[in-house]
A and B are shown apart, each in its own frame.
Chain A
């Protein structure tokens, strides 16, 4: 199972790189979202999967799943969300001000002598 999930995470990371290398702002933002998904899976797998019960104290359970990666991932999810929302608004603003979402055309500020 772990190996499968790591491979899946690798595929997600690869796909996110592909999306981030494209020209459209929307696809770049989607790419960062996918990247964070891949990393989430990767991190969670490092703690082992499906070992023991849900990490909520219960007298009948002998072994719990590792709670530490889960706590960390929770933080990661929230931060990623904040970042995605912000980037999305930046993209909207860029499109409104500059009239394009093609990053190939967003190249520096025009100099006065141009």
Chain B
């Protein structure tokens, strides 16, 4: 275990201490004790930046399950380091913010323990080289996210949201595991590095298509892409620090990380490129379109997050083209740079926005856009921060969102010039979708600013609004400051962080020397696109009352949420119906299943094997034996048709006694004796029971009932006979009985071989047979003697 392993596991280790601390010490807000943990990790990770930006990679391994190849292999390059710093850094700010946000009356122990588990899980996902270990941490993020969404577990909506996110992300996670396993089967390694070295082998294998689809399921569900985004708006029931951390800055980016990480592996595939690009753009437009109609501030931000994730996803798709065409050409490298840059930007402005909305909620008591307004003079600091971050989200200069959106548009325009074999005609769609999505983004960003802070002040808020305490303002302030700094000096990041990350996505060692400028010249199409977006967005916002009825067109019956809910209901109903269908509660049904399965499987086996009937020497048939057999047959027939219980008992004994006679003919004297005795006692028992059982021995049955039974029993009888005949005529070995016959006197000093086998050679059987007998006797005694009254130990329920 090295220092880096310790850094990853530190939050979980600390969680134990935090949990104990919380039980005994409640004077100081628990968040203060948690705060140093992510801070230390951030500082430690920051010290790795120089090495990584010099193209070094850090690789450390720790044995976990070496037999199955599941080792804790930490691999740090630009991409992982970028994500890890985001996770730890924003984690620090979120913990700081939560100290102000959550009061000491809340269950803080739960909150911070879950949050710390999540932190370890997320660091584990991004810093891992072993796919099995990656999957382990991946599911740990799902579980801790589930716990955090359901933090206020007494609320129904929280439970619903937690369950939904769990079902959807676990669904994707399992499929992703399948993809990993296929990959490891092709390449015979669990290491992502090792897989990337064997790209040609993967390219040739037909199964790699399946692996791509499965892994994309994992990435799309986690990163809330279309149509799996539906869990994210419902996950907003979580406390706001959680929404800010998990559902905007870190966990939802795990899917992006996965796509970026596997881009060198799958970029050869058209399927990979086009599904990422297409799904990303559809998500971008659809979620931005839906964000406008939301009333709840957090819902607006949730849809906005989905939309921005779609943007980054589409950029990664375009970036994969760069790997395909070769990074040297540089046509699509701009897409990769844009993806990485926007990833950072989104984490900063979206984290800040969530925190500010948490403040607004905290200080006014509501998150509904309908109840808010005119807070500009009351909450000036929050207003300034919202203004900056929202404008950055909308892509307005000079903030960082403008830069990455500009790069995004450039990349989408570049797609038009690319030479596509498949989609040459539709390539004009990509910039068009990008522009439409950006217009919607502009509109909801403006709505956020105007809806909360401008216009009339609403008198109806549940609490009297006031500016938040400094403690809550620090974190969003830092993030807003970053928005401004990255906006004004974008090249601060390019050499140290963006380039190494982009190079690891492209899997190249050539330096990129990215430089990001505000000004691209008059001839840049992106510039004109931005101007058009701002103009169109402003017009759309001003005339929103005219076109907003559009949202009422789509009936609720066609939303994805409706489909999801109905799917859940019908899968439960369907399972119930199927179970009710065969679990009838009647013993007869189950017997029919058992006998039916016996007949069917035996028949299949009999048909599939060449059975031959060759019974060599058989014993001759003598007249007395023939007579006994006839008696047995007659008794059986009588038993089947009689109505009287006396007759059936007597016929049963007849069969038993005839059997003991047969045993005499078959040279089995001990058997005959025992059978005689046992049959006598059994008959006596049946007669004893005679008075205690109902007068009739059978119930009225329909003819169809009888016919069914007859068919089943005939089938069982025939199959049993055929199996018996086949077994008898195919003997493979001689019996081992000769040993007993030879040694019965020498070894056991007895003459009666059957008895010697019973008590000497195979005495254990006899011991436990005696035990069975004893237990049965005890059982009979207890059944007859023990009476628990109905009022008593609720052993029996009330019966009608």
Binding site for B on A (CB under 8 A): 1-27, 30, 33-34, 37-38, 40-42, 44-58, 64-68, 70-75, 77-86, 88-93, 95-98, 100-104, 106-110
Q: A88-B689, A109-B797 are in contact. Are A10 and B721 (CB under 8 A)?
A: yes
Which residue in chain A gives the minimum CB-CB distance to B711?
A: A18
B712–A21 CB distance below 8 A: yes
Closest residue on chain A to residue B595 by CB atoms: A17
A58, A70, A73, A98 — which one has the most chain B CB atoms within 10 A of its CB? A70
Decide: B728 and A27 in contact? CB cutoff 8 A: no
Q: Is B754 touching A33 in the complex (CB atoms < 8 A)?
A: no
**Pairwise interchain contact A19-B640, C-beta atoms closer than 8 A:** yes
Q: Are B699 and A102 in contact (CB under 8 A)?
A: yes
Residue of A nearest to B778 (CB): A86
| CB proximity to A under 8 Å, residues B655-686 | 655-656, 659, 662-663, 665-671, 674-675, 678, 681-682, 685-686
Q: List 7 A-B contacts (CB under 8 A).
A: A11-B636, A19-B640, A30-B649, A42-B720, A57-B753, A84-B682, A89-B784
Q: Enumerate chain B residues within 8 angstroms of A5, measured Cβ to Cβ.
A: 629, 662
What mask results when residues 752 to 763 of chain B are scored 1 for a CB within 8 Å of chain A, else 0? 111001100010
B680 CB to nearest chain A CB (Å): 11
B693 engages A74 (CB within 8 Å): no
Decide: B666 and A49 in contact? CB cutoff 8 A: yes
A41 to B669, CA, bound (A): 15
Nearest-neighbour CB distance to chain A for B513, whole angstroms, equals 74
Q: Of A45, A64, A75, A97, which one neighbours B765 at CB under 8 angstroms?
A: A75
CB pair B632–A8 under 8 Å, yes or no, is: yes
Question: Which B279-322 residues have C-beta < 8 A from chain A?
Answer: none
Let me know if B558 is at the binding interface, CB within 8 A. no
Q: Interface on chain B toward A: helix, strand, loop, or mixed SS?
A: helix
Contact (Cβ within 8 A) B586 A30: no
The residue in chain A whose Cβ has the minimal distance to the Cβ of B797 is A109
Cβ of A74 and Cβ of B692 under 8 Å apart? no
Tell whether, in the assembled complex, residue B669 and residue A14 are in contact, meaning their CB atoms are under 8 Å apart. no
- A33-B652, A103-B588 known; A77 vs B671 contact (CB < 8 Å): yes
Query: With A22-B698, A23-B699, A26-B645 given, is the CB distance from A86 to B779 under 8 Å?
Result: yes
**A18-B640, A27-B698, A89-B783 given as contacts; is B753 within 8 A of A67 (CB)?**
yes
| Nearest neighbor of A58 in chain B, beta-carbon distance | B751
Which of B40-48, B428-436, B521-529, B733-741 lies on the face that meets chain A?
Answer: B733-741
A101 and B740 contacting across the interface, CB-CB below 8 Å: no
B618 within 8 A of partner (CB): yes
Contact assessment for B588 and A81 in the assembled complex, using a CB-CB cutoff below 8 Å = no
Contact B769 A79 (CB under 8 A): yes
A80 to chain B, nearest CB (A): 8
The listed residue (B629, B708, B718, B776) touching A86 by CB distance below 8 A is B776
Known: A17-B713, A55-B753, A77-B675. 15 other contacts (CB 8 A): A11-B721, A15-B717, A17-B712, A34-B639, A34-B652, A42-B720, A71-B757, A75-B758, A79-B769, A80-B678, A84-B682, A91-B689, A96-B692, A101-B694, A104-B588
Complex contact B799–A103 (CB within 8 A): no
Q: Residue of B at shortest CB range from A83?
A: B776
Which A residues touch B686, using CB under 8 A? 88
Contacts of B697 in A (CB 8 A): 24, 26-27
Report A88 CB to chain B, min CB distance, Å: 5
Contact partner of A53 among B587, B636, B667, B728, CB < 8 A? B667
Report how far A65 CA is from B649 CA in the complex, Å: 33
* CA of A39 to CA of B526, assembled, Å: 87
Q: By CB atoms of chain B within 10 A, which of A85, A92, A106 has the most?
A: A85
A40–B709 contact, CB under 8 A? no
Contact A11 B717 (CB under 8 A): yes
Write the nearest CB–CB distance from A30 to chain B, whole angstroms. 5
- Nearest-neighbor residue (CB-CB) of A6 within chain B: B724
Q: Which of A18, A50, A88 contacts B665 (CB 8 A)?
A: A50
How distant is A77 from chain B, measured CB to nearest CB, in Å? 5
- Take A68-B740, A74-B674, A74-B758 as given contacts and tell me if A54 and B669 are in contact as well, using a CB distance cutoff of 8 Å: yes
* CB–CB A110/B752 < 8 A: no
Q: Which 4 A-B pairs have the closest CB atoms?
A: A14-B717, A10-B721, A82-B776, A18-B713
A70 to B620, CA, bound (A): 20
Q: Are B640 and A15 in contact (CB under 8 A)?
A: yes
Query: What A residues does B595 contact at CB under 8 A?
Result: 17
Instruction: Across the interface, name the chain A residue whose C-beta is closest to B689.
Output: A88
**Chain A residue contacts of B639, Cβ below 8 A:** 15, 19, 30, 34
User: Which of A20, A56, A100, A109 lies in contact with B753, CB distance below 8 A?
Assistant: A56
Q: Are A81 and B797 CB-contacts (below 8 A) given A14-B718, A18-B640, A67-B737?
A: no
Residues in B with CB closer than 8 Å to A89 are 689, 779-780, 783-784
Across the interface, B720 reaches (CB within 8 A) one of A10, A20, A66, namely A10
Contact partners of B724 in chain A: CB under 8 A: 6, 9-10, 42, 45-46
Does B671 lie within 8 Å of A73, measured CB to CB? yes
**Chain B: number of interface residues, binned into ranges:** 35 or more
- Which residues from A are CB-within-8-Å of B588? 21, 23, 103-104
Cβ distance B244 to chain A, nearest Cβ, rounded Å = 46
Q: Which residues of B contact A12 (CB under 8 A)?
A: 632, 636, 655
Question: B702-737 vs A: 1/0 string, CB under 8 Å?
Answer: 000000111011101110110011011000000111
With A1-B625, A89-B780, A101-B693 in contact, do A71 and B769 touch (Cβ < 8 Å)?
no
Expressed in whole angstroms, the minimum distance between the Cβ of B588 and any Cβ of chain A is 6
> Contacting B648 at CB < 8 Å: which of A26, A85, A93?
A26
Say if the beta carbon of B592 comes within 8 Å of chain A. yes
| A17–B257 alpha-carbon span in the complex (Å) | 63
Given contacts A70-B671, A86-B776, A95-B693, contact A56 B629 (CB under 8 A): no
Is the beta-carbon distance between B741 and A30 smaller than 8 angstroms?
Answer: no
Bound-state Cα–Cα, A2 to B757, Å: 24
Who on chain B is nearest to A104 by CB?
Answer: B586
Docked complex: B121-168 residues within 8 A CB-CB of A? none
B699 touches A13 (CB 8 A): no
Given A42-B724, A55-B667, residue A68 in contact with residue B766 (CB < 8 A): no
C-alpha gap A30/B376 in the complex (Å): 90
Closest to B800 in A: A110
A2 contacts B769, C-beta separation under 8 Å:
no
A100 to chain B, nearest CB (A): 8
* B561, chain A: closest CB distance, angstroms: 32
Do A4 and B713 touch across chains, with their CB atoms under 8 A apart? no
Q: Contacts A14-B714, A20-B591, A79-B769: A46 and B727 contacting too (C-beta < 8 A)?
A: yes
Residues of A near B754 (CB, < 8 A) are 55, 67, 70-71, 74
A79–B772 touching, CB < 8 Å: yes
Residue of A nearest to B648 (CB): A30
Assembled-state Cα–Cα distance A36/B592 (Å): 19
What per-residue 1/0 map shows which CB atoms of B354-381 lie under 8 Å from chain A? 0000000000000000000000000000
Given the interface contacts A55-B753, A75-B765, A93-B784, does A15 sit within 8 Å of B698 by beta carbon?
no
B796 within 8 A of A: yes
Distance of B693 from chain A, by nearest CB (Å): 6
Contact B735 A47 (CB under 8 A): yes
Contacts of A55 in B (CB 8 A): 667, 741, 752-754
* Residues of chain A lying within 8 A (CB to CB) of residue B698: 22-24, 27
Assuming A6-B724, A24-B699, A50-B665, is B618 touching A1 (CB within 8 A)? yes
Q: What residues on B are CB-neighbors of A10 within 8 Å?
A: 717-718, 720-721, 724
With both beta carbons as reference points, the residue of chain B lying nearest to A64 in the complex is identified as B741
Query: With A10-B718, A42-B724 as given contacts, are A37 and B640 in contact (CB-CB < 8 Å)?
Result: no
Q: At the interface, yes or no: B510 with Cβ under 8 Å from chain A?
A: no
- Tell me the complex Cα distance, A107–B580, Å: 13
Asked whether, in the complex, the Cβ of B699 is within 8 Å of the Cβ of A84, the reply is: no
Given contacts A15-B636, A17-B717, A18-B710, contact A98 B744 (CB under 8 A): no
Instruction: Return chain A residues, CB-CB under 8 Å to B27.
Output: none
Nearest CB in chain A to that of B762: its residue: A71
- Chain A residues within 8 Å of B629, by CB: 4-5, 8
Indicate if B793 sits at the interface (CB-CB under 8 A): no
